[in-house]
Copies of this chain bind each other. A is one copy, B any other.
Amino acid sequence: MKFQIAVDIGGTQLRAACYSVGENRPRCIERIPTVHPSNSPYNRLEQLIQSVWPEDGAVESIAVAAPGPLDPYKGIIFEAPNIPDWVDLPLRSLLENRFQVPVALGNDANLAALGEWMFGAGRGHHHLVYLTISTGIGGGVIIDDRLLLGKHGLGAELGHVTVIPDGPLCGCGQRGHLEAISSGTGISNWVREQLNNGTASILENAVDVNAKIIADAARSGDPLSIAAFQRAGTYLGLAVTNFLHIFNPTIIVMGGGVSRSWDLFIETVRSTIHLNVMNPHFLSDLTITRAELSDDAGLMGALALARSQNESRR
């Protein structure tokens, strides 16, 4: 029996799972905190992989999803959130030396796109645009059944396109990016700004104003919170219209924590697209839908990477 091991490196959690070749349900899955005083994140990662290693068969490959920036061709992590020691870490060669099997590395949003295309909402599509909307906004694009990577594997940074020139500050340090407006952070920053300006809201005395709390307030009718999601949806709709003009895809898939508030922004997204698309041909055969893999997007994305790489090795 042959196995593939998928790993998802998050800022708070490391996950690993072992899959039989051809099976999409993990045979076993383990999760541990990324940072712990007992040992280094890299040692914890090795131990975690060891803990899912099958005793009754050979491992064909290991695939790892990690937050960018990273170089998927060279297998190097440039930086990792919450792991300050990981600067230019040659993760692929470290793991290949330790486990003696091929190791593949990919950006987690890119791999989530690959996972949705292979196992989730995008099955059967050849041209897919994926957005993960949470604290930040990440992207992944499938064109003609291939993942868009670009020269150094840095492509598909769909959260970092300008939607308001000189607009709000983005997590990347630039201004007016989609992420600065339509991410959870963008939504809560805007609400806090309106509250500071004296806008009336049931959130006036809230201790913590985050996207989840704003969503709850919107559902209970708070006009400021409703407006916050409509604003996020308008700029998301403008950006998605641009992605239609650029990629002419047949499906837009949205995942990430903020996509759980889908009902609060999707109508604004759709109407913005319909108002702004340059030509109705771009809407023919177009599906806009929620991601299916949710919490396991990283692992399933890594599994998709393992499968597509084994495919190309055969």
Binding site for B on A (CB under 8 A): 69, 78, 126-127, 143-144, 146, 148-158, 160-165, 170, 172-174, 177, 235, 238, 241-242, 245-250, 276-279, 281-282, 284-285
Contacts and interface: CB of A to CB of B under 8 A. Distances in A.
A280 to B, nearest CB: 10
Contacts of A161: 161, 242, 245-246
A79 to B, nearest CB: 10
18 contacts: A69-B281, A78-B281, A144-B149, A149-B248, A152-B281, A152-B284, A153-B248, A154-B245, A155-B246, A156-B246, A157-B245, A158-B246, A160-B278, A162-B238, A164-B165, A165-B238, A170-B278, A177-B278
Given A172-B279, A174-B278, A249 B151 contact: yes
Contacts of A177: 278
Copies of this chain: 2
A157 B69 contact: no
Given A152-B284, A161-B161, 12 more contacts: A69-B281, A143-B148, A143-B150, A148-B247, A150-B247, A157-B245, A161-B242, A161-B246, A162-B163, A162-B241, A164-B165, A165-B235
Contact of A157 (B126, B143, B152, B278): B278
Contacts of A285: 151
Contacts of A247: 148, 150, 155
Contacts of A278: 157, 160, 170, 172-174, 177
B248 A151 contact: yes
A127 B156 CA distance: 13
Contacts of A148: 143, 247
Given A148-B143, A162-B242, A248 B284 contact: no
A245 B276 contact: no
Nearest to A125: B151
B241 A154 contact: no
Contacts of A170: 278
A279 B172 CA distance: 8
Query: Which of A152, A155, A163, A235 gathers most chain B CB within 10 Å?
Result: A155
